[in-house]
Amino acid sequence: MTTTSQEELFRFLEDRFACAQACTECARSCATRASLVDPDGTENQELVRRKGIMCAEVCDATCRVLSEQNQVDEATIRVQVEWCRQVCLESAQVFDDCSGAEQAAQACRACARACTEFLATLN
C-alpha cells in the first residue's frame, strides 16, 4: 500500500466516522426538539415535530449504515448519506423558523456538512 493510498484510506475512515458522529448528534438534537413540541399545537409546531422525528430517524439509519463494516455497498452508502444530507438541510430550514430550535438547526447543518465531506471522499 502506498503512502497516498494509506492517506486516502485514513481520510475516508475519518470522514466516515465524523459523518456517523454528526448523524448521532443530529438525531439526538432532533429527537429532543420533536419531544418538546406540543403534539396538539399549531400547524407550524406539527411541521417542526414531524421534521424533527424524520430527521432523527434518517440520521439514526445513516449512522447504522456507516457503522456496518463492508456489509453495505458504496452505492447504498452514497444514497443514504445524500438522503441524510438533504433531510438535515430541510429540517434546519424548518427549525430556523421555530423559536428555541437554534441548537437543532445547527446540529442539522453540521450533519449536512459532514455528509457532504464524506460524499467527497467517495468520488
- What is the mean predicted confidence (pLDDT) over 6-34? 91
Whole-number percent of the chain with pLDDT over 70: 95
More confident residue, 88 or 1: 88
From start to end of 1-123, where are the E strands? none
Nearest Cα neighbor of 87 from 69, 60, 64 is: 60
Higher local confidence (pLDDT), 8 or 52? 52
Positive or negative torsion for Cα 12, 14, 18, 20 = positive
Contact 96, 70 (CB under 8 A): no
Between CA 29 and CA 40 the distance in angstroms is 21
Mean pLDDT of 7-32: 91
Whether residue 4 has pLDDT greater than 70: no
**25-46 mean pLDDT:** 91
For the residues 12-36, what does the mean pLDDT come to?
A: 93
Average pLDDT for the chain: 91
